[in-house]
Structure 1
């Protein structure tokens, strides 16, 4: 979509399409946990996402309105408590029917490269597209107790990238917040790498960027567990996102997470 058209949508009034509501209520478990004030903002965020993001279907996949709105709502959930109304630097969302097998040389860490194929459910590109598996996105929306959500994960990367560096630290309000965030997240990241975690899966130890993305998934999906095992980390995420998912859930959801 042309940049001028994006700007037009950004300034024009947009209306939430009531035909989206049944899919959001039935397909996105977190939707029913929101207060009326949160729902009002979410409806605006979803409407804006639907209007301003370019959508692409991969491999002949039929990309329906229901698929788009369920992805839009999950991506918008991260913005609910932020001073952001959209992901303006996302060029498009590319939806595959299922996981994607990547081939070709790519960085594998430590200055080395790998050509071994890997299977992914999502991928975020700096100032570019976000690739998603619809099967994974639908599963994450319907079954948050599993702790995984590919849309939360990839759009957490996009928030991380807002300051131009993908380092697990999104833009924070001041130096004090930055120092506190760094201390808490570094300690939790080091612990995951050294001895694992009862709530953060091992992939969180890949690098600080993946730590933030995985922690975001758990923050929204298993907030009581994260608050119990990593209270300082939960506090930092609550402060950054301006949301308290644990307070939305009347009782803890218990789930044994496998690495």
Structure 2
């Protein structure tokens, strides 16, 4: 029964092509913020993603090496500080050239549903595929200051799904960490729904699951703003992801990293 594990351990790690640095340095702004030890782990994660993930192109779209590398790098950013090396339960990544128009009944949050068509840039299915728009993926990677990143968003959903419940609370270390997470996120979620937020877009108030996904986007894309407006939320995300994007930004600007 352990033959599959022996086979996995005996296989050499996929190789990160050095030419991918050119793709990532020009198209993925966060790549240049990483320290050497972070880059070493990211190279391993990206290579595994590119070579072991099942890729599917929608609408006769051509999947290039650039597309695969860009998606792999953004998905891998979420795993950089975690004790997770692969997205084992993602069955495939389905890439569309642009946003997708869906029909049928779907939830609008708060227990309400609609049959109106909707346009999406991504979608994560429990123990299934992740659907992504390449146009949205490329834009989010190139312009992080705008706060949105469809890859971060959909793969945050997949982290949320790891415990079998899509509730905005990913698997945490212990009961105390879970309670602190729930307390902090519930307060921030309720505030977004009641008053809005200067840093979290309104979609974060759709559900607790969407709150976590949107908060993850802002944590990586606008960390200094999140530190300023939602310091408790930033702290919980920093503890969970074991990364400090605000420190990276301050270091690049020649400032002092924030205290733990």
Q: TM-score, normalised by structure 1?
A: 0.92
Aligned to 1:200: 200
Shift of 1:223: 0.2
Deviation at 1:106, TM superposition (A): 2.8
1:105 deviation in Å? Answer: 2.3
CA distance in 1, matches of 2:121, 2:196: 23
SS of the residue aligned with 2:197?
Answer: coil
5+ residue gaps, structure 1, are: 253-259
CA distance in 1, matches of 2:247, 2:106: 41
Q: Find runs of 4+ consecutive structure 1 residues off by over 6 angstroms.
A: 4-7
Q: C-alpha distance in 1, partners of 2:65/2:249?
A: 29
For 2:145 and 2:112, locate their aligned partners in 1 and report how far apart those are by CA, in whole Å.
Answer: 36
1:86 aligns with 2:86: yes
What are the Cα deviations for residues 10-34 of structure 1, in whole angstroms up to 9, with x where unaligned? 6522221112111011111000000
TM-score between the two structures when normalised by the length of structure 2: 0.92
2:257 matched residue in structure 1 = none
> Partner residue of 2:116?
116
CA RMSD between the two structures: 1.7
Cα deviation 1:192-227 (Å, max 9, x = unaligned): 000000000000000000000000000000000000
What displacement does 1:35 show? 0.3
Q: 1:7 to 1:167 in 2, by over 3 A?
A: farther
Aligned position for 1:138: 138
Q: Partner of 2:34 in structure 1?
A: 34
Residue matched to 1:12: 11
Q: Distance in 1 between matches of 2:93 and 2:226?
A: 29
2:19 counterpart SS class: helix
Partner SS, residue 155 of structure 1: helix
Give a deviation string over 1:30-65, Cα, whole Å, max 9, x none: 000000000000000001111221000001111101
What count of residue pairs does the alignment treat as equivalent? Answer: 249
